Amino acid sequence: MINKTNFNIKEVTGCLGGECYLVVSGNKTVLCDTGFSFAAPQAASNIAEATGGAGPDYIALTHAHYDHAGGAAYLKSVFGNAAVIANSLSADIFARPGALRVMRELNASAVEEAPCRDPDASRGHGDMLDRFKADILVPGPEDYTVAPDLVAIAAPGHTRDTTSYYFEDLGLLFATETTGVVACGAVVPTFITSYAQSLDAASRMEEIAAPSILSPHYGLLSGDDALLFPARAREACEVFADFVLSRHQSGMTYDEIVRAIHTAYYDALLLPTGKQPLAAFITNAKAVIPRLIAELE
């Protein structure tokens, strides 16, 4: 039995761009993503305040990107009783020194751009990336119950390890960047590794028909906004694929297509939110173009 009023969502973000949310219900408190490592100390104090010092029961991670999972190890060090839930592929990424180096580089440029610049961040404050450890591993592509009434649902497409979470008792889906982010009233596609899988994830969302969706970097969607979201997400992905493919077929270079995406998506929709660091946007745009073209041609 789903009781829509039976939960609260509290935003506990440490720094704009590394959004993280507490889902508080009668039987458990779940932190959904953790934000940047450099903002983890601030997120920790927000979480302590929101939970009366108790902290969350679980820390659920959608994927091993620096702005989503960067703060996990720091927050675990503060809230030792919280069980960290991650896809096994996410845990593999944290074990790779090269991946940690990229996270640190992106962190450093996010600190430069961040509206909340933390003077300690450049000295590695909050950076416990080396100590990442998951307590509960989501093993594979099948749905996996990670806690009572909490099911992990693989949603690869943004990255290979991307995982969403469905709170069965609450009718709440914690969605991922595989199905895009909401910004300026639009859905901005943010798939990187697979267009086809992003469409699959939108279809899966449609089947679930969650009455409430916790949308990455945005917050709660409910009512029609939640029910219409999967169709809007699919359409946004299709429009983006056409955008890239038509420019490629008209002879534009990858760099020219990156600039076109920068104008149409970053400047028009993401920049006004102040949430996505430009360096990460460009990195993702450069990665998605050749993959998308290869997938469609």
* Binding-site ranges for Zn ion (CB under 5 A): 65, 177
Give the residue with the Cβ less far from Zn ion, 65 or 248.
65
Quote the DSSP letter at residue 282: H
- Phi/psi for 284 (5° steps) reads -70, -40
> Least distance (Å) from Zn ion to the CB of residue 46?
21
By the 8 A CB rule, do 196 and 296 touch? Answer: no
Cβ proximity to Zn ion, 35 vs 126, nearer residue: 35
| CB nearer to Zn ion: pick between 19 and 177 | 177
Beta bridge mates, 145: 151
How far is residue 101's CA from residue 276's CA, in Å, rounded to a whole number? Answer: 20
CB 66 → Zn ion: shortest distance, Å?
8
CB of 162 to Zn ion, least distance (A): 8
DSSP summary character for residue 51 = T
* Cα dihedral 190→7→42→52 (10° resolution): -170
With respect to Zn ion, which residue has the nearer C-beta, 29 or 162?
162
Beta bridge partners of 24: 8, 29
Least distance from Zn ion to the Cβ atom of residue 31, Å: 17
Minimum Å distance from CB 177 to Zn ion? 5
| Helix residue ranges per DSSP H, 62-194 | 66-69, 72-78, 88-94, 97-113
How far, in Å, CA of 3 to CA of 172, rounded? 10
In terms of C-beta density within 10 A (0-12 exposed, 13-18 middle, 19 or more buried), how is residue 272 classed? exposed
| Residue closer to Zn ion (CB basis): 61 or 199 | 61
Nearest residue to the partner Zn ion, using Cβ: 65
Q: How far is the CB of 106 from Zn ion (least distance, A)?
A: 10
Nearer to Zn ion by C-beta: 46 or 193?
193
Could you say which DSSP state residue 57 is in?
Answer: S
Helix (H) or strand (E) holding 200: helix 195-208
